[in-house]
Amino acid sequence: MIGSMRPIIVAGNWKMHTTPADAGELARTIAARTRVDGVIRVLCPPFVCLAAVRDAVSGPDAAAPDGSGVAVGAQDVHHEAAGAFTGAISAPMLAGLATWTIVGHSERRRDACETDELIGRKLLAARAAGLRTILCVGEQLAEREAGRASDVVDRQLRGCLAAADPVAINAGDAAAFAIAYEPVWAIGTGRNARGADAAEMAAAIRQTLAALGFPNGGADVPVLYGGSVASSNIDEFMAEPSIDGALVGGASLKPDEMAAIVARAGLTAAARAGAGA
Task: Return the active site residues.
Answer: 105, 182
19: amino acid identity, one letter: T
Single out the residue of 91, 119, 85, 92 nearest to residue 105, CA to CA.
119
Residues contacting 179, CB < 8 A, separation 6+: 134, 135, 136, 137, 157, 205, 221, 222, 223, 224
Question: Helix, strand, or coil here: 182?
Answer: coil
Angle formed at CA 205 by CA 201 and CA 211, multiple of 5 degrees? 145
Question: Long-range contacts of range 187-193, CB-CB < 8 Å, 24 or more positions apart?
Answer: 187/106, 187/107, 187/226, 187/227, 187/228, 187/249, 188/228, 188/249, 188/250, 189/228, 190/228, 191/228, 192/227, 192/228, 192/229, 192/233, 193/225, 193/227
CA distance 54 to 82: 23
277 secondary structure, DSSP code: -
HSE-CB at 246 with a 13 A cutoff on CA atoms is 33
